[in-house]
């Protein structure tokens, strides 16, 4: 699954529209209020890490980095 489809799946899982996600991002994190701009960013794969954190925030998620378990022991 590519990142665009994965993000869209999270949005659908939360039962909200792309328009609502963009509205929340614009209100809470000063993003552009343009759905086409957000959609294009997902299509191009140009979502920055800081933007991913803000997107996760408005969807009610938290991005966590976890060290892999070593299989070389």
Please report the pLDDT score of residue 35 as a whole number: 95
Query: Which tens digits make up the pLDDT trace of 2-51?
Result: 889 999 999 999 999 999 999 999 999 999 999 999 999 999 999 999 99
| Cα–Cα dist 57/73, whole Å | 37
Please report, for residues 10, 52, 54, 56, the alpha-carbon distance to residue 64 in angstroms, rounded to integers and kept in the order given: 16, 12, 13, 11
């Amino acid at each position: 699954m590519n990142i665009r489809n994965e993000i869209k799946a999270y949005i659908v899982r939360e039962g909200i529209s792309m328009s609502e996600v963009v509205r929340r991002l614009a209100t809470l994190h000063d993003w552009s209020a343009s759905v086409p701009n957000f959609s294009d960013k997902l299509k191009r794969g140009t979502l920055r890490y800081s933007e991913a954190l803000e997107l996760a925030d408005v969807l009610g998620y938290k991005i966590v980095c976890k060290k892999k378990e070593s299989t070389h022991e």
